[in-house]
């Protein structure tokens, strides 16, 4: 396959599993395009992707806020009660003088997950309103850089391991934030598994291609 210029690359899709190049074709609403060699899903076409994505990311942000503002667990030990919240976990690292570890933790379990779902919400909103061609491009590039660094799921598993180890020594009560964190992690997994960043790029291309065509016709 001969590539004439950089724009021609926009019409090609690479299979993530076997790295075969495919030409992007228009498919029907609700259907998906699969790799000819290995059968992996290359892309889907969902005409309501912006609405679905926006609803899912706002729901994730609400669960994230609940998970962070309310107590995660209440630990009772020898008549002494202690509430633990997510910000408290990394703030206590700062208090103990572990500044670098505290900083890394705050980015992995707080700042990056918050940024990712804020970016998703803004991008889907821009695409729904058909504005911000340049801004949506920059946000999508930023999103692909930070997505691998969100570690809420690993944090949840480490909390579960710590709780199992504490069961024999102290009385543990799960707080509302614990259930909100589980809901957030499930939504996070669902969104990252079902909506590929490449599908948002395709949606962006469709939205602004149509918009530009309409503008050209009216001029
Ligand atoms: Zn393949």
Q: How far is the CA of 38 from the centre of ligand 1 (A)?
A: 4
22 Cα: distance to centroid of ligand 1 (angstroms): 9
Distance 147 CA to ligand 1 centre (A): 23
- pLDDT, tens digit, 9 for 90 and up, residues 127-169: 999 999 999 999 999 999 999 998 999 999 999 999 898 888 8
Q: Which 8-state DSSP code applies to residue 4?
A: -
Q: What is the pLDDT of residue 65?
A: 97
Helices 86-95 + 49-69 axis angle, to 10: 50
Q: How far is the CA of 127 from the centre of ligand 1 (A)?
A: 29
Sign of the alpha-carbon torsion through 163, 108, 95, 175: negative
Cα separation, 64 vs 34, in Å, equals 34
Q: 193 C-alpha vs ligand 1 centroid, how far in Å?
A: 17
The CATH code that applies to domain 1-45 is: 2.20.28
Q: Residue written as tokens 């801004």?
A: 135
Contacts of 44 by beta carbon, 8 Å cutoff, 6+ apart? 31, 32, 33, 199
Distance 34 CA to ligand 1 centre (A): 8
Instruction: Average the pLDDT over 42-53 and give the result.
Output: 90
Domain ranges of the chain: 1-45, 49-218
pLDDT in tens, 149-158: 989 999 999 9
**pTM of this structure:** 0.86
What is the number of other CB atoms lying within 10 angstroms of the CB of residue 56?
20
The mean pLDDT of 22-38, rounded to a whole number, is: 90
Q: Compute, in degrees rounded to 10, the torsion defined by CA atoms 120, 126, 132, 138.
A: 10
The alpha carbon of 149 and the centre of ligand 1 are apart by a number of angstroms equal to 26
């Amino acid at each position: 396959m001969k590539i004439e210029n950089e724009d021609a690359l926009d019409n090609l899709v690479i299979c993530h599993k076997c790295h075969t190049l495919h030409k992007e074709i228009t498919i029907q609403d609700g259907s998906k395009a699969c790799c000819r060699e290995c059968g992996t899903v290359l892309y889907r076409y969902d005409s309501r992707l912006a609405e679905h994505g926006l609803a899912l990311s706002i729901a994730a942000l609400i669960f994230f806020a609940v998970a962070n503002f309310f107590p995660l667990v209440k630990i009772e030990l020898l008549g002494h009660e202690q509430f633990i919240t997510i910000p408290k976990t990394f703030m206590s690292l700062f208090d103990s003088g572990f500044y670098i570890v505290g900083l890394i933790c705050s980015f992995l379990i707080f700042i990056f997950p918050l940024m990712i779902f804020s970016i998703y919400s803004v991008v889907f909103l821009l695409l729904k309103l058909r504005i911000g061609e340049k801004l949506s491009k920059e946000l999508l590039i930023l999103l692909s850089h930070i997505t691998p660094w969100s570690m809420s799921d690993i944090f949840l598993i480490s909390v579960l391991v710590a709780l199992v180890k504490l069961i024999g020594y102290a009385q543990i009560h799960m707080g509302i934030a614990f259930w909100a964190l589980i809901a957030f992690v499930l939504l996070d997994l669902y969104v990252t598994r079902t909506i590929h960043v490449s599908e948002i790029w395709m949606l962006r291309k469709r939205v602004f291609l149509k918009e530009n065509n309409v503008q050209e016709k009216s001029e």
